[in-house]
Amino acid sequence: MAANGKMSTGNEMVVLKTSEGDGPQYVKDSPRDHPIVIIGAGDYGRSFAGRLVKTGIRVVIGSRDPERRRPNVPEDVVVTSHSDAISRGKIVVLAVPRDAYSDMAELRSDLTGKIVVDVSNKERLDTEKSNAEYLSEDILDKSLVVKGFNVVSAWSLESGLAGGSKEVPICSDDKEARGEVIQLAKDMGFFPMDYGCLRAARDVEAIPLRLLPGWRFATKLMFGLLAFMSIYVLFQGPLYKYVKSGVTKDIQHFPGKGFNRVLAMLALTLLALVYFPGIIAAFRQLAYGTKYQRFPIWLDTWLKSRKQLGLLALLVASLHAIFSACLMSPEYYYHMYEKGPVIEGRQFYGMMFWRGELLIFTGGLALALMSVLGVTSTPSVQNAMNWREFVFVQSKLGFACLFVGTAHCIVYGSTGFNKMYLYVWYTPPPALLVMLLPCLLILLKLFLLSPCLNSRLMQIRRGWESKPKATPV
């Protein structure tokens, strides 16, 4: 008992104060009046404590062996027993694995009424209930369990949140407890996301276990196209010459010149696939006369993977540019150079034709525009742009990049489109085949830009519908 009122313990939510003439008043206790308690002095617990100390928050670590753990924890952090640490705070961060949850049953009475933050992760994806649900229902049923901070690594905490996402999903069945932890995350420099009730912990705990979930569609598509195009180029050129005349020279040069051709085809195709779903979506909106019609799952997945497809296209185009710089010589691209004299049976070449210089110009310009698209798709640059600027770069410059890339392919293959000996085994040359999709895409885009269709599409995207909604009876 203090001189002017009653002191609160760790479990109490109010402090009694008196003032002259006003009588006693009850004031709600703030969680910042108490230190944050961390149960567990392992790597994650020490890193979490260090981050809290850097943000000016008092920390108490509870350990089975305080004397042995004390030299390893950050300065200004109190290390004591589990029970003593829990009694000092309101928010308890449980930095222990699920295997150690059974030991928490001994502290059930101490943790009654406390906000317990579970930061654990599962070892594999499954459909069973989450660690947080198990903790709340079977171990600490008298505590307010909150799931949070499990997506943050110990390395990120120690390095000042560098090298990782600052978004932290938080969920709990208790709204006030969830709000307290959300505020704690803000104080630590994170961007908390309210995931609602504790059942959402199943999705939250699955986040660190998924390997690049947003890249699966784009990666599978890229490797599928890479395999198809490699087989097609090998089949249409080197393999045909070997079967017909026993020539193995082109097969020997396939890892260089042949694969470089595959990279060029793949980069242009991936870039076209970035903008093709938008064209399909536009025609669907025109057909249905509304933007509120849900897209099919395949189209929705395709639309959500456009950023990944664009970045993969940039990667492949960069590899193509490096290969081309290494291979650019008359021996590999003789049709781009002027023929010189023949000396001792060897053909010499002079400077490039205009076609060769135009090939380099269009390729370099396409790569530069694609680099701009890649840079502006990164979150740091994207957040510095307004919506109109972002749409201009990704749409207008994107189609300009596609047009220049298609022109680059046309310049390269223009010398062989009319040569019938290149149409072997009833198949067109690779340069002609790869131009079909981007040329079709450009024609459809020009069709959509016609005044009658463009004005109707803009109306639909502003919310206009061709058919009025049915009035419920």
What pLDDT, in 10s, does the model give residues 218-252?
999 999 999 999 999 888 877 777 777 776 776 77
pLDDT at 25 exceeding the cut of 80: no
- Break the chain into its structural domains and give their ranges: 34-209, 213-461
Angstrom distance (rounded) from CA 295 to CA 287: 12
DSSP state for residue 110 in the 8-state scheme: T
Q: Tell me if 310 sits within 8 A of 374, measured CB to CB.
A: yes
Sign of the four-CA dihedral 123, 193, 274, 366: negative
Q: CA 208, 148, 12 angle in degrees (round to 5)?
A: 165
pLDDT at 185 exceeding the cut of 50: yes
In this structure, of 8-12, 361-365, 395-399, the range with the lowest mean pLDDT score is 8-12
Q: What single letter denotes the amino acid at residue 49?
A: A
In this structure, of 3-17, 118-132, 311-325, 355-369, the range with the lowest mean pLDDT score is 3-17
Return the higher-pLDDT residue of 13 and 72. 72
Phi, psi of 178 (to 5 degrees): -60, -40
The closest alpha carbon to 40, from 132, 90, 89, 104, belongs to: 104
- Domain 34-209: assigned CATH number: 3.40.50.720
pLDDT band for position 468 (50/70/90)?
A: low
Q: Where are the alpha helices (DSSP H) in 188-305?
A: 201-206, 216-236, 238-245, 249-252, 259-288, 297-304
- For residue 197, give the 3-state DSSP assignment: coil
pLDDT band for position 467 (50/70/90)?
A: low
* N- to C-terminal Cα separation, the chain: 67
The pTM of the whole model exceeds 0.85: no
Chain Cα centroid distance, residue 390: 18
Q: Tell me what pLDDT residue 469 has.
A: 53
Q: Tell me if 442 sits within 8 A of 266, measured CB to CB.
A: no
Sign of the four-CA dihedral 189, 193, 197, 202: negative
Phi, psi of 214 (to 5 degrees): -75, -10
* Percent residues over pLDDT 90 in the chain: 48
pLDDT band for position 20 (50/70/90)?
A: very low
Q: CA 327, 310, 287 angle in degrees (round to 5)?
A: 130
Residue indicated by tokens 């920390």: 59
pLDDT tens digit sequence for 89-124: 999 999 998 888 888 888 999 999 999 999 999 888
